[in-house]
Amino acid sequence: MPTMADVARKADVSIMTVSRVINNTGYVKAATRQRVLQAMQEVGYEPKSAAGPLVQTSTLVLVVPDITNPFFTFIARGMEDVARKHGFRMLLANTDESLEKEREYMQMCLDYRIAGVLIVPVGDPSVANLRLLEQHHIPFVLIDRDVEGIDTDLVKGDMRPTSTQLVEHLIELGHRRIAAVVGPLHNAASRERLDGYKDALTRHGIPIRDDMIFQASMTRDMDVSFVEALFSAAKPPTAMFVSNMFQYAHIVRALHHLGIRVPDDVSIVSFGNTDDLASVDSILTAAVQPTYNFGSLGAQLLLERIDGVRKMSTRIVLNSEIVFRASTAPPRP
């Protein structure tokens, strides 16, 4: 079945222009409109009724759980570069890790006849929200977080082996009491980080202790009260594995209040932002994920779906890179 993309190619205009002609929104020159209508006839494209099933528009939406986290806005950058090359506009929506907001934005994608969605879902409970897109045949690609029960395209990082590598770096420096701080476990990426941490300990014969594993929010409002309890214990950890920049920043601040120094008293490793500029004077040893490519490759997959050229789901897992800095050192004798 011919698509809007075919019409655009034939008429030598952008998909956005084809959309404007079909949906009668926005100004299109009379001559261009004529060319588009003729191209529609030539390729045999039949727009669906606006009242009935959805009519494609030339807008893509990226749904992220935390707009203030540069990790996610870099995904936007990558997505936008690809989207624009193909004549699509892009909008960003923020769910704040809330299933209710996520559902509202899914509804909005239906209301606005969005062509396709890239989404970093809240987690496994997002399945009901994603079904809404499925039911209305709006193509979507999962980014960063897998969702149980959803079979669709996915682009994410290699969380588990990278977590193992980060923790093994601490073990190689001589650390044995290593605490882990992970995000909510309804989020597959948090589970993968925890599994990677456990893999490292197991591989080196270090017992896994529940009192060294903490769950915390990954947003800027996280509660770090556990840090004080952890470091008042008889045998506090000599190293910590944390999940993102917000957790790192909050924990460093809490440690500072307790008079505990990094790396002298405790070493820290974390997943970091892609933003090499923001971290220009950071001391953090961090795993950096290619989030720009999460967006650019995700957009590629999405456009293939919109064009209907691929039916099978594709899963892309991208490697991380570990940047070694001053936050890690051998434990004190």
Cα separation of 5 and 3, whole Å?
Answer: 5
The helix (H) or strand (E) run that includes residue 196 is helix 188-203
The pair of three-digit structure tokens given for residue 272, joined into one six-digit string:
């970091």
Question: What is the pattern of x (binds a second copy, CB under 8 A) and - over residues 226-255?
Answer: -------------------xx-xxx-xx--
Q: What is the dihedral of CA 199, 204, 209, 212, to 10 degrees?
A: -80
Orientation angle between helical segments 70-85 and 291-307, nearest 10 degrees: 40
Residue with tokens 């009935």: 52
Asked if 104 interacts with a second copy (CB under 8 A), we say: yes
Asked if 258 interacts with a second copy (CB under 8 A), we say: no
Of the candidates 237, 325, 310, 318, which has an alpha carbon nearest to the alpha carbon of residue 279? 325
When binding is defined by CB under 8 A, the residue of 238, 282, 289, 296 that contacts a second copy is 282
Helices (H), 112-158: 127-135
Asked if 284 interacts with a second copy (CB under 8 A), we say: yes
Nearer residue to a second copy within complex by CB, 209 or 256: 256
Cα separation of 58 and 114, whole Å?
Answer: 7
Quick check: bond before 333 cis, omega within 30? no
When binding is defined by CB under 8 A, the residue of 15, 56, 74, 166 that contacts a second copy is 74
Q: Which range, of 15-23, 31-39, 155-163, 208-216, touches a second copy by CB under 8 A?
A: 15-23
When binding is defined by CB under 8 A, the residue of 199, 265, 275, 307 that contacts a second copy is 275
When binding is defined by CB under 8 A, the residue of 46, 111, 211, 223 that contacts a second copy is 111
Q: Are 258 and 196 in contact (CB under 8 A)?
A: no
Residue with tokens 């990954």: 218
Q: In a 3-state reduction of DSSP, which class is residue 254?
A: helix
Shortest Cβ 256–a second copy spacing (Å): 9
Shortest Cβ 41–a second copy spacing (Å): 24
Shortest Cβ 195–a second copy spacing (Å): 27
Shortest Cβ 222–a second copy spacing (Å): 10
Shortest Cβ 89–a second copy spacing (Å): 6
Residues lying near a second copy in the complex (CB under 8 A): 16, 20, 23, 25-27, 59, 61, 67-68, 70, 73-74, 76-77, 80, 84, 89-94, 96, 101, 104-105, 107-108, 110-112, 220, 245-246, 248-250, 252-253, 275, 277-278, 280-284
